[in-house]
Chains A and B, each alone.
Chain A
């Protein structure tokens, strides 16, 4: 992706509730990869979930799932049954056309209220 945009600088959710983080991207490619990364406070960034654009099925990893709308160039992350440990910065990212660089969005800070 050439550009990745996260329009929500901060979000909050009640523990055990569901929250959706938004991401839009722009690319001229027909086949590409999109990612969500999580950066907990003072801890290392880790991959949450990955979506391959040619796959129509939305990726799911336990409580994390994506809503991938290819035509709308939208890639949102849904977190179900939110836990206190989900509190973190979340970054959406897309792989560039050459497949050797990631472009990151500005991030969304997620707060989880007990």
Chain B
């Protein structure tokens, strides 16, 4: 079974802090994705990566950056957290082409 894990289930940070969210997959997938999930808005893509050290902006990249130094690991970075970044963050991975994405359990981030 494909396993996608995320570093934290719940996280509380203060405004202005630097926040790291980490995602690890164990199935040698080329593609990895970061989404944020908000009620009524569904999932919106922040960034994705189709290879090590490669990254592409999604629909809402502002305020975020990513890092992919190893194939199995994809990190989402909030350089200076703001309250409007309070959300559920989901990581996913897939083989190309995208016939199915495998999701992690999510990190609920609260910025106060």
B96 an interface residue at 8 Å Cβ cutoff? yes
| Complex contact B41–A47 (CB within 8 A) | no
| Complex contact A104–B48 (CB within 8 A) | no
Given the contacts A105-B42, A106-B42, A45 and B99 also touching, CB distance less than 8 Å: no
What per-residue 1/0 map shows which CB atoms of B36-75 lie under 8 Å from chain A? 0000111111001010000010100000000000000000
B87 an interface residue at 8 Å Cβ cutoff? no
> In whole angstroms, how far apart are the Cα atoms of A45 and B4 in the complex?
11
Given the contacts A43-B105, A44-B104, A44-B105, A102 and B98 also touching, CB distance less than 8 Å: yes
| Complex contact A101–B58 (CB within 8 A) | yes
B35, B43, B44 pick with most chain A CB within 10 angstroms: B43
| Complex contact A45–B103 (CB within 8 A) | yes
Contacts of A105 in B (CB 8 A): 42
For residue A54, give the distance in angstroms from its CB to the closest CB of chain B.
14
* Closest B residue by C-beta to A52: B99
| Complex contact A44–B41 (CB within 8 A) | no
A64 an interface residue at 8 Å Cβ cutoff? no
Q: How many residues of B contact A (CB 8 A)?
A: 25
| Complex contact A106–B41 (CB within 8 A) | yes
Partner of A45, one of B41, B50, B90: B90
A-side interface size class: 20 to 34
A100 an interface residue at 8 Å Cβ cutoff? yes
Known A6-B42, A99-B98, A106-B40; 16 more pairs at CB < 8 Å: A35-B100, A44-B104, A47-B101, A50-B100, A95-B98, A99-B97, A100-B31, A100-B96, A100-B97, A102-B43, A102-B45, A102-B101, A103-B45, A104-B35, A104-B44, A107-B40
Closest 9 CB pairs of A and B: A104-B42, A45-B103, A104-B43, A106-B42, A47-B100, A99-B97, A44-B103, A107-B42, A106-B40
B residues within 8 Å of A by Cβ? Answer: 4, 31, 35, 40-45, 48, 50, 56, 58, 90, 92, 96-101, 103-106
Between-chain CB contacts (< 8 Å), 14 pairs:
A9-B40, A44-B103, A44-B106, A47-B100, A95-B97, A100-B56, A100-B97, A100-B98, A101-B98, A103-B45, A104-B42, A105-B42, A106-B40, A107-B42
